Amino acid sequence: MNLTFRQLQTFVEVMRAGSISEAGRSLGRTQPAVSAMLAGLEREIGFPLFERERRRLIPKPEAHYFMEEAEIVLSRLSQSARTLQEIGNLEKGKLRIACNPAASSFFMPRVLSTFLKGKPGVNASLMMRSSPVVAEWVASQQYDIGFAETPETRRTIQIKNFRFPCVCAMLANDPLAIKSEITPKDLDNKPLAMLFDEHTTQQQTSKAFSDAGAQINPRFELRTFLPALHLVSEGLCYTICDSITANSYQIRSGVVGSIVFKPFVPDIYLDMSLMTPANRPLSKLTEEFANILRTEINELCSISAAGHFQELD
């Protein structure tokens, strides 16, 4: 059986209007066209739905029963059409986003909330995990977009890389706050909050101190820079942190923040990547969000305190 949308639409309108002429006017079709559509429907289902007496159609009991089914089908098709239109207009769907702690505290929620304004039909999953886990989730297609530290090259992930310089955080009333930039000599034997030994920023920082002949004093060892800023605000240490975390603190705290950020020399970088699955196309919704996210990342680069964020090829 090969019923068409127009056959069902015509049948329902005839049942509602009570005549072929009225149904034709409502549908914008001629009476012969409506009659032909009904005849084709009856041939397709294999039995008549109407008795025809003196140019009048009298619905048979089967027609009344079929009317209920046809209305349900048409309603479902109309709903499907609306859903497809909403999907095409980026008004319906789901985004699955994973990011590392540096981006999860403020940056990613801000971008996502701005994108979702006026899109009540879009649901979002935003999960914070370590950078290796984010890469695994994207590679296995569990998440549509990942933003985390740059992973090793793999065929299952498409990446766009960004390089963020690190800055030195200190109290606003610290004597070093008057300097335009901070060097390892300035922090010689001063207490630092640093990440674990295997992290790239810790390794770069240790090398910078060693090359300058300065004594490094890692008072606190952490997994992320978020708690480091609290320790700095209490006057317990300094920290050399990534610019995403620094920017999030500045926006959140505004002019009342007790911490200032100064460029650190020599440059220490945190490499971050925007990741999407390589083995399947992105939905329109995901593609649009990824484009906006990339724009926001570039904007974050342009407003960095040091002014030398850079996007990598």
* Other CB atoms within 10 Å distance of the CB of residue 288: 14
What integer best gives the mean pLDDT of the chain?
87
The tokens for 17 are: 């209007």
29-38, 130-139, 182-191: lowest mean pLDDT where? 29-38
CB 159 within 8 A of CB 277: no
pTM for this one?
A: 0.69
* Other CB atoms within 10 Å distance of the CB of residue 146: 30
The SS3 of residue 52 is strand
Parallel, antiparallel, or unpaired for β 50-53 and 56-59?
A: antiparallel
Which are the contacts of 265, defined by CB distance < 8 A and separation ≥ 6? Answer: 181, 182, 183
What is the per-residue pLDDT for 307? 44
The DSSP bridge partners found for residue 274 are: 147, 160
CB 250 within 8 A of CB 235: no
CB 229 within 8 A of CB 239: yes
Q: Where are the domains of the chain?
A: 5-88, 96-161+271-311, 163-268
What is the per-residue pLDDT for 174? 95
The tokens for 89 are: 């207009």
Question: Within the chain, what is the greatest distance between any pair of CA atoms?
Answer: 108
Question: Which residue in the block uniquely carries the two structure tokens 């027609």?
Answer: 63
d(CA 191, CA 223): 17
Look at residues 180, 304, 301, 174 and name the one whose alpha carbon lies nearest to residue 239: 174
Look at residues 46, 48, 47, 58 and name the one whose alpha carbon lies nearest to residue 20: 58
The tokens for 159 are: 């990446």
Residue 229 has pLDDT above 60, yes or no: yes
Residue 313 has pLDDT above 60, yes or no: no
Pick the CATH number of 5-88 from 3.40.50.620, 1.10.10.10, 1.20.1560.10, 1.25.40.340: 1.10.10.10
Q: Provide the CATH number for the domain formed by 96-161+271-311 in this structure.
A: 3.40.190.10
Question: At 85, is the pLDDT very low, low, confident or very high (cuts 50, 70, 90)?
Answer: low
Domain spanning 163-268: CATH superfamily: Periplasmic binding protein-like II (3.40.190.10)
Look at residues 257, 242, 219 and name the one whose alpha carbon lies nearest to residue 168: 242
**176 DSSP 8-state letter:** G
The tokens for 86 are: 């909403």
Look at residues 157, 113, 97 and name the one whose alpha carbon lies nearest to residue 286: 97
The tokens for 72 are: 């349900």
What is the per-residue pLDDT for 91? 53
What is the per-residue pLDDT for 66? 86
The tokens for 271 are: 């490499």
**281 DSSP 8-state letter:** P
pLDDT average, residue stretch 64-68: 86
Tell me whether the CATH fold assigned to 5-88 matches the one assigned to 96-161+271-311. no
Residue 293 has pLDDT above 50, yes or no: yes
The DSSP bridge partners found for residue 218 are: 192
